[in-house]
Chains A and B, each alone.
Chain A
Amino acid sequence: MSLGSIIVLIFGCSFLYGGLAYCLFLTKGEKK
């Protein structure tokens, strides 16, 4: 796998799954 693809993989995962995890963290303890 090329370096470019690895960078994209890390970037994509961080943005999508990191962002999602952060949003889910923000909902912690809330019922809204």
Chain B
Amino acid sequence: MREQWNNRLVFVLAAVGSAAGLGNIWRFPYQVASNGGGAFLIPYFIALVTVGIPMLCLEFYMGHRFRSGAPTAWGKICKRGETLGWFSIFVAFMVAAYYSVIIGWIFNYLAFSLNLAWTKTGSSDFFFNNVLKISSGPFNLGGFSKVVVIGVALTWISVYLAIKDGTESVGKIVKYTVALPILLLFIMVVRIAFLDGAISGFDYYLKPDFSKLKDFSVWSAAYGQILLSVGLGYGIMIAYSSYLPKDSDITLNATITALANSGISFLAGFSVFGTLGYIAQATGKTIAEVAGSGGIGMAFVVYPEAITKLPFGYWGQVLFALSFFIMLLTLGIDSAFSLVENVTTALSDKFDYSKKKTTKVTISLMFILSLLFTTKGGLYWLDIMDHYLNNFGVIPIVLIELLLIIKYVKLENLLKYLDERSDVKFRFGVQIFCFAGISLGLIFGGVIIKEVMSFVRGSFYGGYSGKAIFVGGYLMMMVGVISSILLRKNTEKKELVIEEV
């Protein structure tokens, strides 16, 4: 019999834990601040209601209805759909490999926090030269950074311990990995709010500039943020919902998951910009000057530097640094293990493998792949692959998922299935899903146009060489598509043999 979540709370916590990750801390607040401040929340909330929640309902529906991981579930609505399922597993596999390395850095920084190790050399120099030992370019791998390898090994051990007993062990751990970061964030925000300059930081974060709403790129950023933040397209939500009891309320669970995820992002903004507001005032700079541009640099350069300038005394700074990295660790680790659990669910469902053995093999393979990103040139590959997996992996996957549902299931049947099981009924459901389809199409169209333009101009993403983009972007995505097609064809043959016997 298929394993099940112990109760609704555990499932919702697991889904929230998966959706809420490092991007909630280092991406969302910067998106808000640079796209019209509080005005950005209008397209963001519209995107949440028109894409985030509906598409989460759709993925929960797939897992719940077909009670299996992404490839098997999509294969049940149309044979070729299985290719899409395998492609989402490929994306999850690759993302897990580099995401684990970022978690590894957090493990490193937990240790470094004990003596604020980055103070001596400056946080930027410390991160790039002492920790990553970064090389001159992507094709100069230059051996491993030992400290990062240790961090990554710790990550994979933690991930294994978290998912070794499937929903049972995940259910136990998500109570802590979801509650703890929220609690820590909340404490940090309250403490920071009393610092001089914090309020001007909050103002920088939220001050609305409604003229930005005329700008298409702001709307595109809002939809992109929702799409990449809710955890759609990896197959995770399909895998997790496949362990739900049969009478589960999908719509309400999806709404809670999406709102909680956005709620964590919104709260994180106060922590980030409150601190930056204080630093700006203390150093006589503007917030824009001290803020940087978010992403990895925010977590490992800007924020550690800011911590050493907080007026808490040495041990207060150590405690604050530990709180920050424990918050990041607990926020990120449940996203990491959900990616792995998703891959093992897909493999064990499709091939009837023992889930425990599959977990061990999958983690071993992912660990080996993640070693690429622990090399001195690893950060370059991480950056390139992250860009292509998000833009040419997640976005088209979610779009095709919706198109497959429209063609093979019909929106009316999907909505009927959702409404029958929910206390909350969809209103204007067909219109909302159609709007989601148009929005996704526009976003993906924008991504393709941007890529073609950069190709024509010869100025590739991040200023990398065409060769690096070809290997880390185009070739990797081609491998993903071809391996997904082969996996489907291979399983089709196997099924044929079984039928003939």
Contact = CB atoms under 8 A, between A and B. Distances in A.
A8 B263 contact: no
Given A12-B38, A27-B256, A2 B245 contact: no
Interface string B28-53: 00000000011001000100000000
Interface in B220-268: 245, 247-249, 252, 255-256, 259-260, 262-263, 266
B165 interface: no
B259 A32 contact: no
A16 B255 CA distance: 11
Interface string A3-29: 011011101110111011001101100
Contact of B202 (A5, A11, A27): A5
A30 B423 contact: yes
A31 B202 contact: no
Interface residues on B, range: 20 to 34
Given A5-B207, A32-B247, A32-B248, A20 B263 contact: yes
Contacts of A8: 37-38, 41, 206-208
A23 B45 CA distance: 16
B199 interface: yes
A17 B255 CA distance: 12
A30 B252 CA distance: 12
A2 B256 contact: no
Q: Is the interface of A mostly helix, strand, loop or mixed?
A: helix
Given A1-B202, A5-B206, A8-B37, A23 B266 contact: no
B424 interface: yes
Interface in B359-382: none
A32 B203 contact: no
B250 to A, nearest CB: 9
Contacts of B249: 27, 30, 32
Given A5-B206, A26-B252, A12 B41 contact: yes
B7 interface: yes
Given A12-B266, A32-B8, A5 B208 contact: yes
B282 to A, nearest CB: 19
A23 B252 contact: yes
Contacts of B424: 23, 26
Contact of A23 (B202, B205, B207, B255): B255
A16 B8 contact: no
A32 B253 CA distance: 9
Interface in B106-161: none
A14 B199 CA distance: 20
Nearest to B269: A12
Nearest to A20: B259
Contacts of B205: 5
Contacts of B259: 16, 19-20, 23
Contacts of B423: 26, 30
Contacts of A32: 8, 245, 247-249, 421
Contacts of A27: 8, 249, 252, 256
A22 B37 CA distance: 26
Contacts of A20: 256, 259-260, 263
A31 B8 contact: yes
Nearest to B209: A4
B263 A7 contact: no
A16 B45 CA distance: 9
Given A26-B423, A32-B248, A32-B249, A2 B260 contact: no
Nearest to A6: B206
Contact of B256 (A9, A13, A23, A30): A23
11 contacts: A5-B206, A8-B207, A9-B206, A12-B38, A12-B266, A13-B266, A16-B262, A16-B263, A23-B259, A27-B252, A32-B249
Interface of A: 1-2, 4-5, 7-9, 11-13, 15-17, 19-20, 23-24, 26-27, 30-32
Interface of B: 7-8, 37-38, 41, 45, 199, 202-203, 205-208, 245, 247-249, 252, 255-256, 259-260, 262-263, 266, 421, 423-424
Given A27-B8, A27-B256, 17 more contacts: A1-B202, A4-B37, A4-B206, A4-B208, A5-B207, A5-B208, A7-B208, A11-B41, A12-B266, A13-B266, A16-B259, A19-B259, A23-B259, A30-B249, A32-B247, A32-B248, A32-B421
Q: Nearest 7 A-B pairs (CB), nearest first?
A: A8-B38, A5-B206, A20-B259, A16-B263, A32-B249, A8-B206, A4-B208
